[in-house]
Structure 1
Amino acid sequence: MLQTKKNTDTVEVSVASERAEAVGGVLIAFFAALMAISQMINGELEEEMMIAHNKVVNYSSWYQSKSIKESLKESELDNLQALLETGIVHEENIGSIQVKIANVEKQIKKYASEKTEILVGSANIPQEEWAQDLDGEMGKIVGINEWEALAEEYDFATKKFDLGMLFFQISIVLGAVCIIIYDNPLLQKTFIICMVVSGIIGILLSVYGYTLAP
C-alpha cells in the first residue's frame, strides 16, 4: 500500500514537472520572439540615431563655414571703412567704396541669417526670414538644435529597448533553468513566475521605448 502511494506521488510529481517544462518551453519561445522584434525595432532606431548624429556633425561644419565667411566679410568691411577714414581715397572713388561697403554689410547680414536658420531650423523662424535654401528649396532646413534633440530622443528610446531586451534574456535564462530542473514542480513554478515577471518588464520597457521614439 505504501509502495503504491509512493508510486502515485512520483507519477504526480512527474506529470507536474512535465507540465512546467511545457509551459517554460512555450514562454521561452514567446519571449524570444518578442526579443527578436524588439531587436529589429531597436536596430532601426539606432540607425536613425546615427543619421541624426551625422546630421549634427554636417550641419555644424556648415555653420562653421558660414561663420568663417562672415568673419572674412567683417574684416573686409573694417578695411573698407578704415580706408575711407584715412582720407587717401580720391573723391571720385568714394562712391564706389561706399557701394562696396553696403554690399559687404548686406552679405554679412545674409550670413548671419543663414547661420540662424542652420542653427534653429526653418520651422522655428518666420518665413520672411528664410535665407538658406536646401537643394534649391527654401524652408527645408532642419536646424542643428533640432537634430541634436532628435539624436537625444532616439538615444533615450534605444536605451529603454536595451533594458527591455536584457529582461527578455533574463526571462529566457530562467525558462531554461526551469526546463533543466526536474521532479521539483514547486521550484519550477517559482522560476516560471520569475520568468513571466521578467518578460512583462521587458515588454513594458520595450513599449515605453517605442513610445519615446520620434
Structure 2
Amino acid sequence: MSDDKSSNFEIRCGVVIAVFAAVMAVSDLVAGKYGDDEIIGTNEKAAAYMWYQSKSVKETLVEGEKSLLESLKQAGALKPGTEKAIDSHLVNLQKRILRYKKEKNEILRGSQTVGQDNWVQDINGELGKIIGAQEMEAHLATLSVAGDRFDMSSLFFQLCLVLGAMSLILKKESLQNVFFAGMCVLGMVGTGISLWAYLGVA
C-alpha cells in the first residue's frame, strides 16, 4: 500500500474508531444509570413488601380482636349493658379491617392500578402516590433485561475496537480492509443493541 493510501486509511480508520469509542462511552454511561436505578428499585421493592407485611400484621391483630369479641358475645360472657358499645366497636373494627385490606392492595398493586376510588394510603398527606411492589418488580425486570443487552453491546464494541486496532497494525491492504469491515459491522451491531436496550426501558 502506498504512503498516501496508508495515510488515508489510518485517518479513516481512526475516525471510525473514535466514533464507536464515543458511542460505547455513552452506552456505558446509560447502562450505569440503569444499574443504579435497579439497585434503588430493589431497595424500594423490599421496603414496599415490608410495609405490606406491617399492614398484614395490623390487620391480623384487629381480626383477632374482632373474633374474640364476637365469641364472647355469642357465649354471653359480656357484662350486661355493654352490648351496644361492643356492637359499635365491632363495626369500627370491621371498618379498620376493610381499610387495611385496601391499603395492602394499594401498596401491592400501586395507586394507578387500583384506581382513584380505592386510594386510601397517603404519602406525606397526598393520595395516589403509591408505586406498588408489583409495579416495581415489573420495572426491575425491564431494567435487568436492559442491563443484559447493554452488556452484550459492550462486548460488541470492545471487539469492534480490537478489530480496528488490528486493521491499523496490519500492513497488507486486503487484511486491513477485512478487519476494518469487521470493525464497522461489530460497531453497528453494538450500536443497535444499545438502542434496543434503551428503547426497552424508555
TM-score scaled by structure 1?
0.89
Structure 1 position 13, deviation (Å) = 4.7
Q: Which residue of 1 aligns with 2:85?
A: 96
d(CA) in 2 for partners of 1:33, 1:128: 50
Q: Which residue of 1 aligns with 2:124?
A: 135
Report the more deviating stretch, 43-52 or 58-67: 43-52
* Cα distance per residue 1:15-65 (max 9 Å; x no partner): 444443333222221111111111111111112222221211110110010
What is the percentage of aligned positions where both structures have the same residue? Answer: 37
Opposite residue 29 of structure 1, the aligned amino acid is A
d(CA) in 2 for partners of 1:42, 1:50: 12
Given that residues 13 and 185 in structure 1 are in contact (C-alpha distance below 8 angstroms), is that contact kept between their aligned partners in structure 2? Answer: no
Matching of residues 1-214 of structure 1 within 5 Å: 12-182=1-171, 184-214=172-202
Aligned length: 202
Structure 1 spans left out of the alignment, 5+ residues = 1-11
d(CA) in 2 for partners of 1:126, 1:27: 52
Q: Which residue of 2 aligns with 1:4?
A: none
Given that residues 20 and 178 in structure 1 are in contact (C-alpha distance below 8 angstroms), is that contact kept between their aligned partners in structure 2? Answer: no
Given that residues 66 and 115 in structure 1 are in contact (C-alpha distance below 8 angstroms), is that contact kept between their aligned partners in structure 2? Answer: yes
d(CA) in 2 for partners of 1:198, 1:90: 84
Structure 2 spans left out of the alignment, 5+ residues = none
Report the more deviating stretch, 56-65 or 151-160: 151-160
Structure possessing the higher relative contact order (Cα contacts under 8 Å, 6 or more residues apart): 1
d(CA) in 2 for partners of 1:147, 1:73: 29
TM-score scaled by structure 2?
0.94
Opposite residue 87 of structure 1, the aligned amino acid is G
d(CA) in 1 for partners of 2:140, 2:182: 35
Given that residues 122 and 141 in structure 1 are in contact (C-alpha distance below 8 angstroms), is that contact kept between their aligned partners in structure 2? Answer: yes
Given that residues 16 and 185 in structure 1 are in contact (C-alpha distance below 8 angstroms), is that contact kept between their aligned partners in structure 2? Answer: no
Opposite residue 194 of structure 1, the aligned amino acid is G
Opposite residue 70 of structure 1, the aligned amino acid is E
Opposite residue 119 of structure 1, the aligned amino acid is L
Cα distance change, pair 186–16 in 1 and its aligned pair in 2 (3 A) = farther
* Cα distance per residue 1:168-190 (max 9 Å; x no partner): 111001111111212x0100110
Q: Which residue of 2 aligns with 1:6?
A: none
